[in-house]
Structure 1
Amino acid sequence: VRLRSGEDRLFELTITSNILNGFYMSIMRDITEKRSMEKQLFKSEERFREVFENAMDAIILMNNDGRIVKANQSACKIFELPMDQLLNKKMTDFIDQTNQRYHAIQKQYDQKGEIRAELLFRMANGQYKELEFTSKRIMFDSQDLTILRNVSDRKRMEKELRESELKFRKVFNGSMDGIVLFNNQYDIIDANPLAGKILSTPLEQLKTSNLLDVISGYHIENAASPAKTISFEEMDNDIPFLLSDQKRILEFSFKRNIIQNMNLAMLRDVTERKELEERLRKSDTLHVVGELAAGIAHEIRNPMTALKGFIQLLKGSIQNEDHALYFNVITSELKRIESIITEFLILAKPQAIMYEEKNIVKIMQDTMDLLHAQANLDNVQMHLKCEGGIPLIYCEPNQLKQVFINILKNAIEVMPDGGNVYVSIKPKGDDHIIISLADEGIGMTEDKLKRLGEPFYTTKERGTGLGLMVSYKIIEEHNGKIEVESEEGRGTTFHLTLPIRQHHEEEEA
């Protein structure tokens, strides 16, 4: 019926005839709202049916005694049963009722009327599946609605992921190289313990740092700029490069984008390896020089002896002052050649060293007295300072005196305008002493410093470079070591560390 207002309404009409003297009675009821609700309910049921049938999760309805009265196709698939066999089954048919966890879940469900949990179900084919389920009691229908999902695959994948993560973490933490993971902004995401040790940074602090900040104190070998100013994008990530500071050398390599926005850096402390390579290189050079020296000693010493002899015979017959000057120059140069040959001979063959217990302070004082005249001529003052009680040490005094002469003469010669040489001797622990000789000369660059002790390398105009090489060899034979510090314009300091007792002296004692 269309009302006068223009609205359409639906009426239910009942007509009764001859109820009284030919009158008719009609009863009309407005059922517009009822029909609308019925349509909505039908649509709702249709939607529920659509969801129920096509849901990816298993959905089952159970009656009061736990029997399945309705199920969708996903439930048939999950329980491995056709629909006609699944219906009227009980949920308890698929559960191990001796499982204490099942009883705890059932008790909670009875109390609250709803539950969300996971249980192991045994399918009809004997296969076990871990199912995650949500159950709720529908009060108006006296039924229980349960939605189930197979989480066995997810659990397996989670387990495999945990195992994979554990394996990765073991490899990551147990690696013999330092490993750092960083993003494209160089913020460190993760690092292993060895990386913290190599970079001298606590691991937790390292994980919150920026990689460029961490390595900013190092310099790239053969590069003038600090690492912080160099872009990794400009460098080949397949070629490792070296980072160095005053104490250590690190080998650094990296891989870009191992996964999205993730880069990997590997560090290795190669300080000892580089020192060993340098020693090996110097040892090989020393061997070559030794062979060369042996040949020079035989080929030159005999003619030198003859020349010296004839020069001495001519000395008495020289009366002209100009000729006397020539004679003195020849004699001086012959002595110089002889000293060079002597240095060669020290390198050419092992020396028979007789260690004696000697006062190192007296050896140093005697050496300084010997060079006192030369120091005065060059306006150089030498100062000796002893700290603590200096014990006697086992050494070959003449060889140590030669080392001191070489270093002190170099110190005097690098200060042509005068200056000071400071010598200090002090104990180092219970087993060593350390002798430091510092000058106020022009100093050396780092490149020159690295080459000290190489044969024929010298910074002096008339030097051979053999003096320091001989000094290194003598200190090495005494089981000691030489360390050199230098700064351009501020001078050079030699630190000589010597053991108080030699190994074979200890064995004899």
Structure 2
Amino acid sequence: MYRTKVLILTSDIALESEIHQLLLEHPDKYTIFHQTELAQKTDLFDVTLIDENLIDKNPADFLAQYTIELFPSTVIYLTDSIELNDEFTAVKSLTADYLYKSQLTASGLNNSIKYALESRKLKREIEKQQKRYQSLFYNAVDAAFFLTADLKIENINEVFSNLFGVKLHQINGDDFKTIFNDPTEYERFVSRFIEDDKESYECEMKFNRLDRKGIFPGHLKISALREYYSSSATPSKMISGYHGTLSNISYKKRISSIKENSSRIAMTYRLARTLAHEIRNPLTNITLAVNQLEDEVPKNEETELYIGIIERCTRRIDKLIDQLLKSSEQKSLQSTECDIIDITNRAVDDAKDRAQLLDIKLITDFESEKSLYFCDSGKLLIAISNIITNAIESIDNESGQVIIGTYEEDGYLCIYIEDNGSGMTESQQKTLFDPFFTSKKKGVGLGLTNTLSIISEHKGHIEVDSEKSIGSTFTILLPIADILQKD
């Protein structure tokens, strides 16, 4: 049976003898030690009974100084009298219990030691849980955070710092709403979680990167932290703050979007090829019939007018069919080692004449001077050129500009084309890459369809951020894992 190791720390021989005798009334419980001054090896003991007369300075200062040295021993303070002042309050916070030397009894001493040991056990368990929780917080895979009760940012982990590009001292005390992209989404979050007094809440929404322009889709999980308060007649559990995690689901969204776009394009092209062949057969018959009519019908102004209309329309339909079939051809990539910066610069050079005629500025913003990639340079040039052309043609104001740049982010090499043109509605963005969708008067609607097909062949993706009357940003994302790697 384990015996609790008790150190009696006093220079008062009579007091030591009295305590020793009281502890011996429980002979199987305690192993008793005595010191007249604080020694170096106090960590050998479970409980230390310390006489206040040993302390020749402020008791709180003494205990604060030696608490670490006494650890893991638990301190019971032996005193002649107690004054209810700030000093004693500090003493109580540094000890497990206190006893009056004039009122010592065997049962009282035994209960005090039992209480001190239980307090130590509870304290250790709490510290253990705190360390585990701190480890989970600081080593979490997702961005983690703590908020105050009034939704101010109180603490963040390293993942959060990297995700938003800020350190704790830069964001500490800021409103939680600063990371939300849409104020309406923040108001919805407050309404559904805070005002409805829920214990936890999770949702998907867009968040702002705080170190630079840009947004990303994230999955937010947040829970309320509650503590008991007994200031009123009835103790209540009040919210003391919040904690949660936030994960960047850009990659997940991109993969889902890539699969959806690839499936939709493949299905559209299959349907288009089928329709093209079905239309071309009767179109051929119409052409032959018109040619026959030209030989048989008497020529006059009226017949020539109508036959001319039929011929022009059949030629236009035939041309559209050729364009559709050509755009739907799945040719293998001719991949070689290329410089993305060079390809992008070539696309910008090709667009300079058109931009100059329309008095539109072309601005380049490359993160690096060179960026090698294994790709089909010819096809990639077509894709980038198509987007730059679209950006130029969307501008109808006097101070038009298009910014073309590159950067690396989240495992992707990104090429962005940003304009201050007419922008698009959400419904327009949803059908943007569909064949024959166009807002141009003379457009066919196959340029962006072909562009998306090229980027998809490179295992990439295109993101569009647009606002009506503000402008659009097209971002081509090419997986960095494929840099200089052959299929």
TM-score by length of 2: 0.59
Q: How many residues align?
A: 401
Query: 1: distance between equivalents of 2:328 and 2:407?
Result: 32
Q: Residue in 2 aligned with 1:180? A: 145
Instruction: Indicate whether 1:227 and 2:186 are aligned.
Output: yes
Instruction: Indicate whether 1:474 and 2:454 are aligned.
Output: yes
Which residue of 16, 26, 34 corresponds with 1:80? 26
Structure 1 residue 282 displacement after superposition: 0.7
Q: Residue in 1 aligned with 2:300? A: 320
Give secondary structure in 2 for the equivalent of 1:152.
Answer: helix
Pair 419,100 (structure 1): closer, same or farther in 2 beyond 3 Å: closer
**1:153-168 alignment, distance < 5 Å:** 153-168=118-133
Q: Partner letter of residue 219 of structure 1?
A: D
**1:354-503 alignment, distance < 5 Å:** 381=358, 404=385, 408=389, 412=393, 442-445=422-425, 448-449=428-429, 451-455=431-435, 457-459=437-439, 465-477=445-457, 486-489=466-469
Query: 2: distance between equivalents of 1:399 and 1:67?
Result: 92
Native 8 Å contact 1:407 1:468 kept in 2: no
Pair 460,81 (structure 1): closer, same or farther in 2 beyond 3 Å: same
Q: CA RMSD in A?
A: 5.9
Which residue of 4, 14, 33 corresponds with 1:95? 33
Q: Partner letter of residue 227 of structure 1?
A: Y
Instruction: Indicate whether 1:253 and 2:221 are aligned.
Output: yes
Instruction: Indicate whether 1:275 and 2:254 are aligned.
Output: yes
Pair 200,479 (structure 1): closer, same or farther in 2 beyond 3 Å: same
Q: Residue in 2 aligned with 1:291? A: 270
Identity of aligned residues (%): 19
Q: Partner letter of residue 32 of structure 2?
A: F
Structure 1 residue 492 displacement after superposition: 5.2
Query: Any idea what the Cα deviations from partners look like across 1:12-64, whole Å, max 9, x if unmatched?
Result: xxxxxxxxxxxxxxxxxxxxxxxxxxxxxxxxxxxxxxxxxxxxxx9x99865
Query: 1: distance between equivalents of 2:449 and 2:346?
Result: 24
Which residue of 162, 183, 204 corresponds with 1:241? 204
Query: 2: distance between equivalents of 1:101 and 1:194?
Result: 42
Query: 1: distance between equivalents of 2:348 and 2:170?
Result: 49
Structure 1 residue 168 displacement after superposition: 1.0
Native 8 Å contact 1:423 1:436 kept in 2: yes
Q: Residue in 1 aligned with 2:179? A: 215
Structure 1 residue 498 displacement after superposition: 9.6
Pair 364,81 (structure 1): closer, same or farther in 2 beyond 3 Å: closer
Query: 2: distance between equivalents of 1:480 and 1:61?
Result: 80
Structure 2 gaps, min length 5: 1-7, 43-47, 81-100, 209-213, 228-237
Native 8 Å contact 1:456 1:465 kept in 2: yes
Query: 2: distance between equivalents of 1:436 and 1:102?
Result: 70
Structure 1 residue 203 displacement after superposition: 1.9
Higher Cα Rg, which structure: 1
Query: Any idea what the Cα deviations from partners look like across 1:167-224, whole Å, max 9, x if unmatched?
Result: 1111122222223333432133443332333343312343423323x335x116xxxx
Query: 2: distance between equivalents of 1:303 and 1:434?
Result: 44
Query: 2: distance between equivalents of 1:361 and 1:192?
Result: 40
Which residue of 169, 187, 193 corresponds with 1:204? 169
Native 8 Å contact 1:483 1:496 kept in 2: yes
Task: Indicate the structure whose relative CO is greater, using CA pairs within 8 Å and at least 6 residues apart.
Answer: 2
Native 8 Å contact 1:181 1:263 kept in 2: yes
Structure 1 residue 402 displacement after superposition: 8.8
Structure 1 residue 491 displacement after superposition: 5.3
Query: 1: distance between equivalents of 2:102 and 2:27?
Result: 19
Query: 2: distance between equivalents of 1:281 and 1:267?
Result: 25
Native 8 Å contact 2:343 2:377 kept in 1: no
Q: Partner letter of residue 275 of structure 1?
A: R
Instruction: Indicate whether 1:134 and 2:72 are aligned.
Output: no
Which residue of 311, 317, 324 corresponds with 1:337? 317
Instruction: Indicate whether 1:169 and 2:107 are aligned.
Output: no
Query: 2: distance between equivalents of 1:401 and 1:318?
Result: 49
Pair 94,492 (structure 1): closer, same or farther in 2 beyond 3 Å: closer
Pair 132,410 (structure 1): closer, same or farther in 2 beyond 3 Å: closer
Native 8 Å contact 2:49 2:76 kept in 1: no
Q: Partner letter of residue 307 of structure 2?
A: F
Q: Partner letter of residue 350 of structure 1?
A: Q
Query: Any idea what the Cα deviations from partners look like across 1:398-421, whole Å, max 9, x if unmatched?
Result: 995698579748965x67x89898
Query: 2: distance between equivalents of 1:360 and 1:112?
Result: 78
Structure 1 residue 461 displacement after superposition: 7.6
TM-score by length of 1: 0.57
Structure 1 residue 269 displacement after superposition: 1.4
Native 8 Å contact 2:414 2:475 kept in 1: no
Which residue of 55, 65, 68 corresponds with 2:18? 68
Which residue of 194, 197, 200 corresponds with 2:159? 194
